Structure formats: structure tokens, C-alpha cells
Structure 1
Amino acid sequence: MSASPIASQRHRFAIPDGVHYLNCAYMSPLSHAVAEAMVTGAMRKQTPWEYAPADFFESAERLRDRAGKLAGVAPSTIAIVPSASYGLAIAARNVPLAKGQSIVVLADQFPSNIYVWRERAEEVGATLTSAHRDAGSDWTDAVLDAITQDTGVVALPRCHWADGRIVDLVRVATRCRELGAALVLDLTQSLGAMPIDLGAIRPDFAVAANYKWLMGPYGTGLLYCDPRYHGGRPLEHNWINRAGSEDFAGLVDYRDDFQPGARRFDFGEKSNPPLLSGAIAGLDFLLEFGVEAIAETLLDKTRALASEAERLGFASAPPEIRAPHILSLDFPGGVPRELLETLAQRQVFVSARGSSMRITPHLYNDARDSEALIDALASR
């Protein structure tokens, strides 16, 4: 446990004093360091004669190294993808699924982790099964109840994108292994904000987009691939993923083999200097503090906000069943549109998801942001 919460890092972001941005689950702001890294990366194409063949590979490996540290896995198990949906499409293409089997998902799960499985189920004659939780619980029991002998794939987040309630992935992974079901994770709303040891969970695949809790640019993401899939089928066949591609003079000596590990799944034109440089800088920011300390600090923020909101009559899930970085305030009839507009007019930015107001702070937030939100809710 950390001795004290991490001090506000607002000075490292271009957030004006009067703006109260509590919406990291929507999109994180770029820190000065990330923005500067992206600009520097973009300027490298001004002088392409200085961009050596080795540069096509070096930044990708630096990103892989940092991602491995963040997730507790070997860098060779990480593929670089442009989006969560791209990574999920790779998973759907490679995990086994047979006619009559089921794919277990959460009720109201994020669409990118639904559409790909609907299509896969239709292709093979499988079914999609949605787990529905009880009102006062997390999602774990609901998922375990939905998994049966006929389950072929379990495709889940670590926490629900709308209500923030968690799934105990260790328990779910154990059940999947007992039944021989594949486990595919979308960690876009948790990686970087919650500690995780993928080496202990051992999913088949796990993906995360960089533009939320990984503090990086839009258009990049990370895909963990269990080693048993390192001989799998990529979505595309680009030159750089083939073995020997470092030798530009020999590129027309066509190869059937691939770069080692999960690199075969990297997307084409991954060696994009501004995107890779920004993604690396975003991970460096997280690794500077450590995800465990970040999670503890964000839990302090959301717990304090929940207490103040409860005083105003708003209900939320207790900390033990929700993610530390996501606070959802219940609005049984749905969040009034005019309330979000009023908050925005007061420069307070949150999201409406389902029947909840989703509040998602980060290290750039301070006490003034929390006070502005509570004052706005009190005067609604």
C-alpha cells in the first residue's frame, strides 16, 4: 500500500483552472509530455533520410516492453493494434468455437465486444448469452452462473463500462479452464487504472485501447496473446510482420514464417512515429507512479465523491464491488439531458451511461474539481 495519495499532476496537463474534467473513461487528455512526444515523432517525417530501417522496429519494441511491465507479461506476448475492435477481431478469428456452444458476455456490454461475437456465433451456429447481475452485487456470480458445459467463449471486461462494477477475473478464468472455454478480455476501461497480472489470469486474449486509462493517443492499442496462439492467423498480411523483414534488401525473398511471439498480429504501418511515441510516453507516465498507487489515489477520489453525493441523495455501488476509478451515480429514470448541459455550462464534464452518471477522475484532478461537481449537483 502507498503511504499517501499521489499529489495532483494537473500541472502536467493543458487543463485550464476553470475546467473540471472528470471524464477519463470517455477520453483522457494528453499530458504535455505525450503531446510533445507526438509532435517530435511527427516531425521525423520531415527528414525521412534520417529515418533508418531499424527505426521501423525499435519504437514498437519499446512500447511492447512497457506494456509487458504494466500487465505482468513478457513483451513478446503483446501485439500492437489500432483499436480494441481490431484486437477482438483477432481473438474471434483464433479462439475455437463450435456449433451449439455459447458465448458469455455481460448485459449491456460495450458494443465493440458484442458485435464481433454476434457475427462469430452466426457463422458457426453458436449463441450469445448475456449475464444479468443482481441489483446489489458485482458481475462475478452472474458470469459464473452463465458459464455452462456448453460455453465455448467468455468475452468480458474487467469492470462494466457504464456502472463500474467489477468481475473477479481470477475466479472466472479458473472456471473457464475447468470447462475448456476460451477467455477474451476487453481491458480498455481498466488497464492502467487497476493493477492486473495477466500471467496469473492467463486469458486467451486481452485488448486495451490506449486513449483512455493508458493516457495515450487515439488510434493505438495493445493486444495480449497467450503463447498457445502465437502460431495463429492474423487479420492482415503486411510486410513488417514476416520473419527477416529487418533486411529491406531481401523483402522480395518472400517468407511464410513470421516475427516471433505475438508480433504476427501487429497491424500494418504500426511504425507510426507520432502514435508510438505518444503511446510510450503515456505508459511512462503510468509506470512512473505504478498502477497500484494510481488505483489507490483514484479510489480515494471516488470514495470522497460518493460520500458527498450520498449526502445529496444519490446512491452508488460500495467500493468493494466497483472499480476504484469509476463512480456511477444512480438515476432510476435516466440522467436528465438538461443536467449534463447545466454541468457543461459550469465547465464540469462527466458522462451519462445507461441510467447512471459516470464520474471518472484521474491524477490531473484536484479538490476544486470535486467541489465544482458537488456544488453543481446540489444546485440542480
Structure 2
Amino acid sequence: MLTNQKYLFNLPENIIYLNGAYMSPQLKSVETAGHNAVTKLNFPHKIGVDDFFNGPKNLKKAFAKLIEAPNYNNIAIIPSASYGIANVANNVALEAGDEIIIVDAQFPSNVYAWQKIAEQKKAKIKIISPPKKYENRGKNWNKNILDAINKKTAVVTLGPTHWADGTLFDLKAIREKSKLYNAALIIDGSQFIGAAPFSVQEIKPEAVITVGYKWLLGAYGLGVAYYSDAFNDGLPIENNWINRYKSEDFAQLVNYNPGYQPKAGRYNMGECSNFILVPMLTESINQILKWQPQYIQEYCDSISKKGINALRNLGCFIEDNAYRSKHLFGVYLPKHIQIQNIKTKLKKHQIYVSYRGDAIRVSPGIYNSEEDFEKFVNCFKN
């Protein structure tokens, strides 16, 4: 069982940060890795050919281990979720009349690329909205997604958990149903991977995209993606020197090579060797591997249980425990509690959360405590 890890972060003692879904606080070790990397760049004569490739390889191996991907060559380094999704949308087989299933109020980075490709291919975006009634909301939302998958479905693309309120989607069941119709399953793991267990071998998706600056605890501007072997012969959205075959041989770079690096190597962004962000993200993922995501979930659950029960007793709706993540959940207010009053109190007590749609989005991490939730709940009383 994990204990509070706040001492490993640089969070001020006078604030309560329940906003990891917005941006992660920085580990001291990640800050050190960044400083060391910047210092190293003062001596460019010491940066050799291997430095362009060893850093990315270490990052890919760490992420592959985290998501239980058998081969690190199926991992690509990307600058953002939208970039990773664009590579997928660019290579998914679509025909006129096909349907792409997304969930309502999905994060824009996993929507715009699909809208564009649907328009080009004359396909259709099918949006699955949550039930209007709170009772069995998560269970029924999942049922609606499963019911929507049929012979017209070409793609199902969503996160393991909804980014705005933490509703969990049953990826196992969705995978089984989508396979019946040979539909691709594309996962945006930005609000899940790192904070909760995720296994490529268990779910077997076609692609998994995630950013580095949220639950992977890395720096802004770098992410990672898993592309299954279904994408081994695809066309990347970017043509750079480093994603080409044998780019390790600098002397031969002028002999332009039509081939690509193995497997997902073709989808690496330009300058994927990023000498500052790569070691920072590698350090943060290695720390997560030491903690283990299942224990991060258990810790977040243990510190929030009493607070969640107290909020429910005040009339707030929070998704059923079986259908919500433990590191991210939405608080929906009853009519007698005014949102502006809550915002004022939270600001006064320096408690940081987000507001997404009708939900107050609460996203604790291993730097939070049960006492943090007590202070949070107090802002809803009286």
C-alpha cells in the first residue's frame, strides 16, 4: 500500500492541489533530470550520434512496460494527443457510410481529426450521450455504447475514463463487441494511463495515445503512443529524417531512404530525440513503475472515500464507485448548492480543481491526503 508521496514533489504546503487532470505537479527527480539535460546542452561537442537514439529507446521501453506492450518498437514519440490521433485517422480504412463512434463531450483532440476524415470519406460520426437520469448512469452509458456498435461501425474511439467526470468505460466489453464487426478500437489514455493499470495485451486495441504532462507526470510538449502491427505499413503525417530506415547512419543521410524505421518508428515526430523532455518523461514513467498504477488507484480511493460519502450525503451526485475512476471524478451539485459559492470558498482556501461542463472535476494524486478532502468537503457545507 502506498503512503503519501508529497515529499517527492515541489507542491507548496499552503495549497491543496486536486487538479492532476489539468496538469501534473512536477516530481523533484523530473526537475533534476530537466536541469541536467539543459546543462548537458552547454557542451554540444559531447552529444554523439547515439544520444539521438538511446534516449527515445529508453523512453519507449519504459512506456511499453507500463502498458504491457510486448515490443517497444510499437511505441512512437509524439508531441501531443492530436498528433497521435491524426496518425491513426490518416491510416484507418473508411468507406462511405461507415460510422465512427465517439462519446459525448469527448476531448477535442480525439474529435477534430475524426470529423475531418469522416467528411473526406463520407463517413458518419456517431455520438453516444450519457443518460439524463443519474440513477445507473455509468452502467447505462456503457450499455448505450455497446448497443451502438454494429455492422456499420468502423472505429470506436474514446478514453478508458471520461475526461470531464471520470466515468469508466468497459474497454473489455467494447473491445469484444467491436471485434465482432472488425471495428478498430482507438484509445485516448491521456486521463488514465499512469494513474491506473492498463494492459495492451488484455485490451488489444489498435492504438493508444497519451500525453506526458498529466498522469505520466512528465513535462508539457511530449507524449507517447502505441500503434499495433495493423499500422506497420501506414503513412505518417510527418516525413522527417529520424523516422526513416537506417537514419542512425549520419554519413548516409544524403542517400534518401524510402523505407521507415520498424513498426511504429515511422510515426515518431521530428526531433523526437528531444534532449530535455525525453529524459524528464523517462524519469517520471520509471517512478510510476516503482509505485505501480494499481497502488496509485488504491491510494486515491483510500483518501477520497469519506469525502465522497460526505458529498453524497449533502445531495451531490458522484458516479457509482464501480463506474468511475478513483483518480478523477465529477461532482454534480444539487439545486440548493450554488456553484459560484463553491468556487469562492475553494479559491479562498487555495483548493485547486477544474470545472468541466456541469461537473466540478476533482483529480487527486499520491501527493494528496484524506485531510485535503476534509477541507474540500467543508467548502460545500452551510
- Pair in the same fold by TM > 0.5: yes
CA distance in 2, matches of 1:238, 1:190: 30
Aligned to 1:275: 277
TM-score using structure 2 length = 0.95
Aligned to 2:93: 96
Aligned to 1:366: 369
**CA deviation map 1:129-163 (0-9, x unaligned):** 11123332323212111112111111111111112
Query: Is 1:111 aligned to residue 124 of structure 2?
Result: no
CA distance in 1, matches of 2:60, 2:88: 19
Query: Conserved in 2, the CA contact under 8 Å of 1:133 and 1:141?
Result: no
SS of the counterpart of 1:183?
A: strand
**CA deviation map 1:249-299 (0-9, x unaligned):** 111111111111211100001111110011011101210111111111112
Following superposition, the deviation at residue 332 of structure 1 comes to 5.6
| Alignment partner of 2:349 out of 338, 346, 350 | 346
Following superposition, the deviation at residue 367 of structure 1 comes to 2.9
TM-score using structure 1 length = 0.95
Aligned to 1:199: 201
SS of the counterpart of 1:239?
A: coil
SS of the counterpart of 2:105?
A: coil
| Alignment partner of 1:122 out of 119, 122, 125 | 119
Aligned to 2:310: 308
Letter in 2 for 1:103: I
Matches within 5 A, 1:125-164: 125-134=122-131, 135=133, 136-138=136-138, 139-164=141-166
Instruction: Kindly report structure 1 stretches of 4+ aligned residues shifted beyond 4 Å.
Output: 332-335
Matches within 5 A, 1:57-68: 57-68=53-64
SS of the counterpart of 2:236?
A: coil
**CA deviation map 1:220-264 (0-9, x unaligned):** 111110112111111111111111111111111111111112111
Aligned to 1:71: 67
CA distance in 2, matches of 1:19, 1:120: 44
CA distance in 2, matches of 1:58, 1:256: 23
Aligned to 1:15: 11
Following superposition, the deviation at residue 200 of structure 1 comes to 2.1
**CA deviation map 1:44-69 (0-9, x unaligned):** 21100000110000010000001011
Greater mean deviation of Cα atoms: 15-24 or 136-145: 136-145
Matches within 5 A, 1:135-284: 135=133, 136-138=136-138, 139-284=141-286
How much is the aligned-residue C-alpha RMSD, in angstroms?
1.5
CA distance in 2, matches of 1:308, 1:161: 23
CA distance in 1, matches of 2:343, 2:270: 40
Query: Conserved in 2, the CA contact under 8 Å of 1:302 and 1:326?
Result: no
- Mind listing any 5+ residue stretches in structure 1 that lack a counterpart? none
Following superposition, the deviation at residue 196 of structure 1 comes to 1.2
| Alignment partner of 1:87 out of 84, 87, 94 | 84
Greater mean deviation of Cα atoms: 171-180 or 308-317: 308-317
CA distance in 2, matches of 1:149, 1:335: 45
CA distance in 2, matches of 1:52, 1:298: 43
Aligned to 1:324: 326
Aligned length: 375
Query: Conserved in 2, the CA contact under 8 Å of 1:302 and 1:325?
Result: no
**CA deviation map 1:293-347 (0-9, x unaligned):** 1111112223232112123332211210111211211126797245324312211
Following superposition, the deviation at residue 128 of structure 1 comes to 0.7
Query: Conserved in 1, the CA contact under 8 Å of 2:189 and 2:209?
Result: yes
Aligned to 1:37: 33
- Mind listing any 5+ residue stretches in structure 2 that lack a counterpart? none
CA distance in 2, matches of 1:337, 1:257: 57
**CA 1:67/1:351 → structure 2, altered by over 3 Å: closer, same or farther?**
same
